[in-house]
Structure 1
Amino acid sequence: MKKYIILICGLMITATSCKKFLDLKPQDSYVEKSFYLDEKGLQGGLVTCYDALQSDSLYGNNFLTLGELRGDNLIDNDPGSGAGVRNQIEVFSETSANSILSGSWMGHYKAIYRCNIILDRAPAISMNENTKNQIIGQAKFIRALSYFNLARIWGKVPLVLTVQKTEEARQNTRATTAQVYQQVIDDLNDAGTKLPSSWPAAQRGRATSFAAASLLGKVYLYQKKFDLVASTLQPVVAAIYAGTTLATVPQNLTFPDNLKTSKDIIFAVQYLMGGVKEFVNQDNRYRNNNNTNIINIPPTLFETGDNRQALVASTGTGGRPGKFNSPQLNNETSSDFPVLRAADVLLMYAEALNETAYGNTEAFKALNAVRTNANASIKTPAMLITQTDFRTAVYLERRLELALEADRWFDIVRTNQMSTIFPGIPSFRSLYPVPQVEIDNINNKSGYQNDGYN
């Protein structure tokens, strides 16, 4: 057909340009400039932001290794698998060449890049303003979550807030951790004003205003701004107690069958099996056999009757803990990955109130709400008679309640327990080394690696 169009253009005796007849945009695939032109394109682009979180580089695989295997909840029972890259993470011998680190770095920035496209294009698109704001809010939430993880893993990282070309990216420098956290805070504050408190059932799984507030509270917790943690989380806690939008009722023994519907889930990375190419390894990560991991949570830490113990117990040879025990087909699963839960919020709230002033009745209420749901006995001031006692109890509760949810290593670091739990490990390993492939692509390499690493 093209030769006839060219012939017509050649024979035209008017001043009409041939461009009027030729549309050079590819018709079989979208390109960035021709995709984000309307609401449909913007919504499609937003889906890719959520999709980035699903990848093996992030919540599908690597984040569990970086946040859980690094801690004391697991033992790698196959140190030679994958050329030993996972085992290196566990035994603190990883280098900047570790492929899990490079994959995670690139995976997070892929999510950020996709969010930046949405935030760059959305203002110019003519559409319903409320819908547009909801899209912007979701993109800012995902970008904030990505940067929060980057800061926890590496500390100082490049703060990229626009869509960059290759040469621009080569000029990047590392922002301070405080600068990264401030951007996360700004994004979450704005997202919180744009997001609804809930979504219709067909759209469940999208970020909400409760998710933004919960993550913001967590960011403040990592900064030890305990008064802001408490004030930020208080509305979320009120909603949890009310039980209308959120609730502390995960019914743990049926985990994860209810992950998609439980009001305990504030935000989760969602998956769907059935030939939809949502490949994920997180579901089969924690088997107690000869080629994966062994759960390393001492049974003595659980009270008799605590229903969480069954979630992290072996179910026999080749068995796996019930917390992620859902069917798989061709390496696909419908089991979601919980990122923020009501129980997590209550424990953060209890911790913050205790750090502000010991003896707060609301702190005990929040702690005991989690314990009651787990069928564990309540804690009273007569049992936890000092601020230190309460702090220790919350730390233990977080380990038991959030086991295998990729918080353990980061909790160890932020609560200054690394030297106690891992004596002899140098403190610089509280952060991971910046991937060498990233450094190789940066023009100014000076100061780009974390201290202690070559």
Structure 2
Amino acid sequence: MKKYIYSLLAGAMLASAGCESKLDLNNPNIATTGTFWQTEADAVAAVNSIYNSLIIDGTYMRMIPCLMDGRADDFQGDSPWPDLMLVANFTIPTTSGPVAWVWEAHYQLVWRANQVLANVPSIEMDQDLKNRVLGQAYFLRGLAYFNLANFYKEVPLITTLPADRTEFYPETASEEDIWNQIISDFTEAKANLPVNYLNVNGPDRGNVGRATSGAATGMLGKALVYRQRWAEATQQFAELVGGQHGAYRLMENYRDNFDPRTENNAESLFEVQFAMPSEVGGSELNWGGNPNANWTQVSAQAITYAARGYGFNDFLPTRTLYNDFHIEQTIDGRKDPRLLATIASFEPTENSTRLYNDQWPYSPDEIYPRKYTNDGFGPSVEEQFRSGINYRILRYADILMLHAEALNELGRTAEAYGFIQQVRNRANLPDLATVKPAMSQEEMRDQIAHERFLEFAIEGQRINDLVRWGWFEDPAKLAFLRSRDSEFNTFTPGNQWLPIPQGELDNNPNLSPNSANN
């Protein structure tokens, strides 16, 4: 499917047109709720439209990466745009545009998924295809609420279409109810989705990029970890490391996970499909709003992160991240190979002295992001908001590390070593059981935090880890973060989450502010 499911099909989700007057005209060129939801093709078009919501500015085109990476200690704001700087130092106001865009885009995703789940069951169509369509809707709704819960903590939980105007103003749900729904959605998705689409019968046959049972299993396990349901999480991860949901494995080259030429590879459980206009067409950038037949399917992350003179340079890696990559050398005495896949830095000992095919243009001590930029993959200067690099939402490395974490929390610390070492082996790092044998549970927690910091740097993982580990409520850990990133000096309790957008609070009398609004 690579790159092709996000195109014109969002238009199928338009509401019915018409007015209460003597002259009631319907546009025959626009589908309505009265004429849609009739055929197998309608069902497939509708689920495709949900994927469309993943490639707009409020989701993975730009704002999810920016608002997640910016709040962690692996990244610092370096932007003339105040919103990005205020997000990075935990002082973002409720009136921030990006905060509202993320909210709106995710509830668009929820709305589209709810329409599929409400209407597709009554369509007469092949049952296996129907199950796949419903499974994808469950998965994508689960992903939407997973992000909403991590961004805002407590939000309205909407799982049905409104019956009348009395349901237009949903109240804030409890954190527990939201997470129970996330777990339920991923469970339903797992039960309905195939391992892959290579041999299915239907218009989705051979598609790559759709949600699979492996992706649902992985996200289910991850959600269970976030709720500290360790034993249940290990049951899900055991299926993945045991090969029951696909032959997932680590790629030999770490950078293959961020290379547009090696997308949807064996390490990827789920990723958002982006493409250059030369691959799929389109002339108008896919920022969002009403679906447009001329939309491209590009990511703006590369130009946003790209180094000074090559893009907007809105963020910089922290010196802490750079230094932590130097804590250990590889078995053969080299630098951790993930360093230069993550950070653009001047490293003559590693034969790395170029940037975008140019000789290093800065002072030797300057560092910039490399991960998710086109450095090495595209033009020498990123002059436009165009990148085709897929955003990897869930990698097999994350499954291994989460499995190790869950085992450690269950008191099975000795078993955790092997899963961590699989990730370290790719980086050619020494055997952890040799260099740090017989760690206690607490020591292993700190080791896992370090390992995750390096493996998933600039991948939007760190802020979620810090929140779920309770580091913001722990004075010692908060002091540790402040010593690593000065932006944490302006953190105040509750601002580990984004504020509920002020426009939403103004329009919905049943919506409650979260801790960040108080």
Q: TM-score range by the shorter chain?
A: 0.7 to 0.9
- 2:250 corresponds to: 248
Within 2, Cα distance between the matches of 1:324 and 1:265?
19
- 1:157 and 1:93 mapped to 2: Cα distance? 20
Worse-matched range after superposition: 145-154 or 377-386: 377-386
Name the residue aligned to 2:506: 440
After superposition, the C-alpha distances for 1:250-304 in whole angstroms (9 at most, x for unaligned) are 5213431344241000000111111331142112232232742211143332233
CA distance in 2, matches of 1:250, 1:166: 54
Shift of the alpha carbon at 1:452?
4.9
Aligned pair partner of 2:234 in 230, 234, 252: 230
Go from structure 1 to structure 2 and tell me whether the alpha carbon gap of 1:154 and 1:253 turns closer, same or farther (over 3 Å shift).
Answer: closer
Give the AA of the match of 2:336.
Answer: D
Larger helix proportion of the pair: 1
* Shift in Å, 1:358: 4.1
1:99 to 97, 100, 108: 97
Specify the alignment match of 2:290 in structure 1.
Answer: none
Q: CA deviation at 1:330?
A: 4.8
Amino acid aligned to 1:321: R
Distance in 2 between residues matched to 1:332 and 1:230, nearest whole Å:
39
**Does 118-127 or 296-305 show the bigger shift?**
296-305
1:306 aligns with 2:336: yes
1:45 maps to which residue?
Answer: 46
Aligned to 1:181, what secondary structure does the other structure show?
helix
Distance 2:163 2:304 in 1: 37
Bigger Cα displacement from structure 2, 36-45 vs 342-351: 36-45
CA contact (8 A) 1:194 1:209 kept: yes
Distance, in Å, in 1 between the alignment partners of 2:262 and 2:109 is: 23
- Equivalent position SS for 1:298: helix
Q: Which residue identity does 1:298 align to in structure 2?
A: L
Query: What CA distance in whole angstroms lies between the structure 2 residues aligned with 1:394 and 1:258?
Result: 30
Distance 1:119 1:89, change over 3 A: same
Mapped to 2, the partners of 1:329 and 1:164 lie a distance apart of 44
Secondary structure in 2 matching 1:203: coil
State the 1:165 CA deviation: 6.8
Distance 1:154 1:203, change over 3 A: same
Note if contact 2:91-2:495 (Cα within 8 Å) is conserved in structure 1. Answer: no
- Equivalent residue letter for 2:306: R
Cα distance in structure 1, aligned partners of 2:154 and 2:254: 37
Out of 409, 432, 441, the residue aligned to residue 379 of structure 1 is 432
1:265 aligns with 2:268: yes
TM-score in terms of structure 2 length? 0.77
Change (3 A) 1:320 1:92: closer
Q: Unmatched 5+ residue regions in structure 1? A: 1-21
Structure 1 position 428 matched with structure 2 position 451: no
Letter in 2 for 1:217: G
Using the TM superposition, name which of 194-203 and 131-140 deviates more.
194-203
2: CA distance between counterparts of 1:122 and 1:40?
11
Counterpart residue identity of residue 322, structure 2: P
Give the letter aligned to residue 179 of structure 1: D
Q: Which amino acid aligns with 1:308?
A: R
Residue in structure 2 matched with residue 324 of structure 1 by the alignment = 373
1:62 to partner: Cα distance: 0.8
1:378 maps to amino acid: D
Instruction: Say which of 216, 230, 242 aligns to 2:220.
Output: 216
2:130 to 129, 132, 136: 132
Q: CA deviation at 1:29?
A: 2.1
Say if 1:294 and 1:96 are closer, same or farther in 2 by CA, change over 3 A.
same
1:70 aligns to 2:71 (yes or no): yes
Match of 1:17 in 2: none
CA distance in 1, matches of 2:515, 2:445: 30
Q: 1:256 to 1:166 in 2, by over 3 A?
A: farther
Q: Which position in structure 1 is the counterpart of 2:160?
A: 162
For residues 77 and 270 of structure 2, the distance between their equivalents in structure 1, rounded to whole angstroms, comes to 28
CA gap of 1:164–1:317, structure 2 versus 1, over 3 A, is: farther
Does the Cα contact within 8 Å between 1:289 and 1:317 map onto a contact in 2?
A: no
Residue 370 (structure 1) aligned to one of 423, 430, 434: 423
C-alpha RMSD of matched pairs (Å): 2.3
Correspondence for 2:302: 283
Partner of 2:397: 343
- Distance change in 2, residues 1:53/1:323 (3 Å): closer
Bigger shift: 158-167 or 185-194? Answer: 158-167
Does structure 1 conserve the Cα–Cα contact (< 8 Å) formed by 2:233 and 2:406?
A: yes
1:417 aligns with 2:420: no
Whole-angstrom distance in 2 between the partners of 1:99 and 1:306:
38
Provide the C-alpha distance between the structure 2 equivalents of 1:146 and 1:279, rounded to a whole number of angstroms.
20
1:29 has 2:59 as partner: no
Counterpart residue type for residue 260 of structure 2: D
Question: How much has 1:215 moved relative to structure 2?
Answer: 0.5
Contact 1:68 1:405 in 2 (8 A): yes
User: Which whole-Å CA distance do the structure 1 matches of 2:470 and 2:156 have between them?
Assistant: 25
- Contact kept in structure 1, 2:268 and 2:395, CA below 8 Å: yes
Give per-residue Cα distances to partners, 1:56-104, cap 9 Å, x unaligned.
10111111122111111112222x32xx111110011111101111100
What is the match of residue 475 of structure 2?
none
For 1:283 and 1:92, how far apart are their aligned partners in 2? 24
The number of residues matched between the two structures is 425
Deviation at residue 164 of structure 1 after TM alignment: 2.7
| TM-score, normalization by structure 1 | 0.88
Corresponding residue SS for 2:242:
helix
* Greater radius of gyration (CA): 1
Q: Secondary structure of the equivalent of 1:324?
A: coil
Q: Is the 8 A contact 1:267 1:339 kept in 2?
A: yes
Distance 1:401 1:322 in 2: 12
Match of 1:5 in 2: none
Match of 2:350 in 1: none
